[in-house]
Structure 1
Amino acid sequence: MPLQTDTIPLRARGLTKAFHGHTVLADVDLDLRAGQVHGLVGENGAGKSTLMKVLAGVHVADGGTVELDGREVTFHHPVQAQHAGVSTVFQEFNLLPERTVAENIWLGREPRRRGLVDVDRMQRDTQALLDDLGVTGLRPGQRVRTLSVAEQQIVEIAKAISFDARIISMDEPTAALADHEVALLYKIIRGLTARGVAILYVSHRLREIFDLCDTITVLKDGRQVATRPAAELDDAELVRLMVGRSMTSFFPGPVEGTEVGEPRLEVTGAGNGYVDDISLTLRAGEIVGVAGLQGSGRTELMEALFGVQPFTRGTVVVDGKEVRLRSARGAVRAGLALVTEDRKATGLALNQTILDNVLGPVRAVFPRRTGAARREAPGLLSNLQVAARALDQEVQFLSGGNQQKVVLARWLATEPRVVLMDEPTRGIDVGAKHAIYELMRVLAAAGVAVLMVSSELPEVIGMADRILVMRDGRLAGELPAGSSEETVLQLATGAREVAR
């Protein structure tokens, strides 16, 4: 039976929370309406995660109240919240990889028959949940370790529904999803709201916030800046509310005096088992964007250029000298750097200190420079505005935006002439994004050539001096700065051909 809509099943007033004397949430109000998606946005450290954890029963608020259906409640454990119909899908999933989909969903609540787990009923109930969500291709008996990130997320959502959840909070649910998987999540969310479920949706991706949300709450420094209908806001106003200052342009223009110079990187007729017929030129002082659909070969192009999956044919020239890039070490020696797509898996050593991360590539490739790099590291990190207690702090304890800045510092310490950036702003807040855009402009002004892959077309269009579009492992064409999203997509999908 559909749930009643247009009601307020959850109402929070004056929520306050402090840790070790530091207030991270101050007097926040929140109404979650049945059948609506409520967006929660703000920079890293704004208090979004703390608010979600208070509602989920992970933390108990120091002040304020939470009412569920008009009755004041206090959750001391997530299980209490779940049994009350309040579920949370965190960015870091809480699943057991060696157990099946069904076993994860019903963990600790397995249906029993004559004292034993009723496996058949558990699988039937799981299949009913998946059918209810409109999910196909996912079986109750599959082990979680065999599932994609998107499929694991579906398991978490199904688990939430299994508690008869009326309120579901989602923390950065699309951070690791491909485009077609995002479309499936949209479909699931719209199905849930049609049934009257209230959803609290946290994301750094403004397009998703405007696509999905009926109401948006903005937090800054733990305080509530605004709560408004999404229809009354646009990108510029939302960014202004989040960062606390007006941005004349979200994407900064070239630094005064920037000039496009000689070719830094020239590739002709190159290919391997993943990409083919790659010919491109990157010049000193320019930022070149790479657009394309998921699976078009964008990341594979970056890995080939950096020697991770080397080109097996064609030529590569760096600063006028032909080179054979057979390894990442060789690419660094040649003056290239690669900011990888997944900073946690391939960009950083999370259990090492900030300083050790910054010095890693220098120690490995230019050991004689280590002393100088160590002396320069504090200034480099300061210029990048890395917020950290000290250089001996482990990287795993930094926010996503600060982790990404450490990745950039790690490569800038090698003094590259060509910087390859694969999704450089994925999963970071709007303020950190702007800082990275400004860094890209500073690098270009210093004569570095920047090649940037991004799935966010406004980012590509806003930052690139030229746009390369990939399709099926090949460069489908080149577009000038300022091209429309429609034109880029037409080229990416093959609806339009552009001569190179």
Structure 2
Amino acid sequence: MTDDILFSMTNIEKSFGNVHVLKQAQLEVRKGEIHAFMGENGAGKSTLMNILAGLLPKDDGKIVFEGKEIKKMTPELATELGIGFVHQELNLAEDLTVAENVFIGRLPYLNQFLGIVDFKKLNEETQYWLNMVGVHVSPTDLVSKLSTANKQLIEIAKALSLNAKVIIFDEPTTSLSDKDVEVLFIIIRRLKEKGFSSIYISHRMKEIFDLGERITIMRDGEYIATDKVENLSEHQIITMLVGREIKDLYPKQATEPGEIYLKVQNLTDKLGKIKDVSFEAKRGEVLGFAGLVGSGRTETMRLLFGADSLKSGEIVIDNRRVMIKSPVDAIKNGIGLLTEDRKHQGLFAGLSIRDNITITTLRRFLLNDKALTKMADDSVKEVNIKTSRIDNPVSSLSGGNQQKVVLAKWLNTDSQLYIFDEPTKGIDVGAKSEIYAIINQLALRGKTILIVSSEIPELLGICDRINVFREGEITGTVRVSDYLTRKDEAQEIIMKYATTS
């Protein structure tokens, strides 16, 4: 083992019951490097990282950290060795202060027997780590009052305070704006300069090429390759990820949109986040919505679905003015919403895959267990959900397959208007391609589709038109067919609409 290698994992095996999750998996990270780590949802990335962090025991294989073999990794030992983990879903106590979160379980005491905390020392030490990551918050601020970006930085400060030598970043940008992503990248590069190693897990190719130095790719629980990022093209990485060649990630099929199906006029919400929003969408049209995080895109979709309260404005569906005061009203009017937050708003984590898929159709098949099971089986095949049994808990699925469950749930309602809010957030390139194909099929069947996405290339690849939001208003519209050979120019125009007053 050479001096520059921080740790290696070789021939790692892991099974859950009869499911063989890791098969001879491996990973090697050098000191002071930013190591990209990619694989489709369900490829085994999270399982391998959980083994490294001591959260799961390995069944077999070898872990060597700084030249010493680790027979049994535990969370305590991982912390002692200097392994930090910034999870995709933030793991902070919202009602505690920043300082209490950074040193949770390790508070300095003036008198531990009496439970008297040394808050002066706590806040001073926290400030040191806040300065290290460059986050401009106070140690005494409540975490619940912070932005998502700042919460992410608090997680990094917490990991560093544990004397971390390597930090695992698991999809850290899924809820961040472009500006916040830039700040995060600056911090990760700064950590590299100080000798820290980073494992960067992401499905976003641009981030991998902007940040990564070397990359390890996994597929179906197995190690595929490790190479310098600069040696690989995006096409080569995609082929290794999915095990087949995807010639066109955005398989947009030509459609001829029909008559206007949805007409929205002067929508304004009660919270003041949406201001006189108006637009139209036709049958068979895929209408995109771009804009920065917090610009009003999601809030507008929630108004259409009755999840938020409408102050004023008019919604016309199929030449008929409708009143949508609740999601029940929206569903009755043929609207389905695939939410941005699938975990908390799109799925019932305690229910099975079958029950999640069929929950929107229970009235049709009340107490008809056989019919519900057949519907779930058909849906699993239709959208290619990877599972051994439909009565497994939906929480057992990877993120991409969970997203397909939410999609299947709404496809069973035969809605006429589908709203997709960040439909490919946090999922792999193979699952993305499959979801794009489903969107194409819906458009060909004459359905009206609204898509919110923070990825402009995605919108340009699958939409007919793109409305751009800024500060609760639509500031411009781009017709994609006008820029088929000038995608870079279209991106610049969209960003101008999204940022310039």
TM-score by length of 2: 0.90
Summarize the Cα distance change of 1:280–1:173 in structure 2 as closer, same or farther, 3 Å threshold. Answer: same
Query: 1:175, 1:413 → 2: CA distance?
Result: 28
- Where does 1:87-486 land on structure 2 (aligned, <5 Å)? 87-113=84-110, 117-137=117-137, 139-254=138-253, 258-272=255-269, 273-363=272-362, 367-368=363-364, 374=372, 376-481=375-480, 482=484, 483=487, 484-486=490-492
Query: Match for residue 37 of structure 2?
Result: 40
Whether 1:78 and 2:75 are equivalent positions in the alignment is yes
Deviates more, 1:425-434 or 1:29-38: 29-38
Letter in 2 for 1:493: T
Post-superposition offset of 1:8: 2.1
Query: 1:134, 1:193 → 2: CA distance?
Result: 15
- Could you tell me which runs of 5 or more consecutive residues in structure 1 were left unpaired when the two chains were aligned: 1-5, 496-500
**Is the Cα contact below 8 Å between 1:377 and 1:413 reproduced in 2?**
no
Post-superposition offset of 1:283: 1.3
Deviates more, 1:286-295 or 1:155-164: 155-164
Letter in 2 for 1:38: H
Query: Match for residue 15 of structure 2?
Result: 18
RMSD of aligned residue pairs (Cα, Å)? 2.5
Query: Match for residue 498 of structure 1?
Result: none
Query: 1:205, 1:185 → 2: CA distance?
Result: 15
Post-superposition offset of 1:316: 2.4
Query: 1:477, 1:394 → 2: CA distance?
Result: 43
**Is the Cα contact below 8 Å between 2:358 and 2:375 reproduced in 1?**
no
Deviates more, 1:23-32 or 1:432-441: 23-32
Post-superposition offset of 1:397: 2.3
Q: Deviations over 1:17-64 (max 9, x none)?
A: 334354322333333122221011001121111221222122343443
| Consecutive aligned runs of 4 or more in structure 1 exceeding 6 Å deviation | none
Match of 1:91, SS state, is: coil
Query: 2:357, 2:15 → 1: CA distance?
Result: 32
**Is the Cα contact below 8 Å between 2:177 and 2:292 reproduced in 1?**
no
Number of aligned residues: 485
Letter in 2 for 1:31: E
Whether 1:68 and 2:74 are equivalent positions in the alignment is no
Post-superposition offset of 1:146: 4.3
Query: 1:140, 1:128 → 2: CA distance?
Result: 10
Query: 1:313, 1:59 → 2: CA distance?
Result: 52
Post-superposition offset of 1:311: 4.2
Query: Match for residue 494 of structure 2?
Result: 488
Letter in 2 for 1:252: P
- Could you tell me which runs of 5 or more consecutive residues in structure 2 were left unpaired when the two chains were aligned: none
Query: Match for residue 55 of structure 2?
Result: 58
Letter in 1 for 2:50: K
Summarize the Cα distance change of 1:172–1:333 in structure 2 as closer, same or farther, 3 Å threshold. Answer: same
Post-superposition offset of 1:373: 7.4
Q: Deviations over 1:194-248 (max 9, x none)?
A: 1010101111222222221111111001111111111122322211110011111
Query: 2:287, 2:429 → 1: CA distance?
Result: 21
**Is the Cα contact below 8 Å between 1:373 and 1:413 reproduced in 2?**
no
TM-score by length of 1: 0.90
Post-superposition offset of 1:165: 1.3
Query: Match for residue 3 of structure 1?
Result: none
Query: 2:295, 2:40 → 1: CA distance?
Result: 31
**Is the Cα contact below 8 Å between 1:60 and 1:74 reproduced in 2?**
no
Identity %: 40
Post-superposition offset of 1:161: 1.1
Query: Match for residue 30 of structure 1?
Result: 27
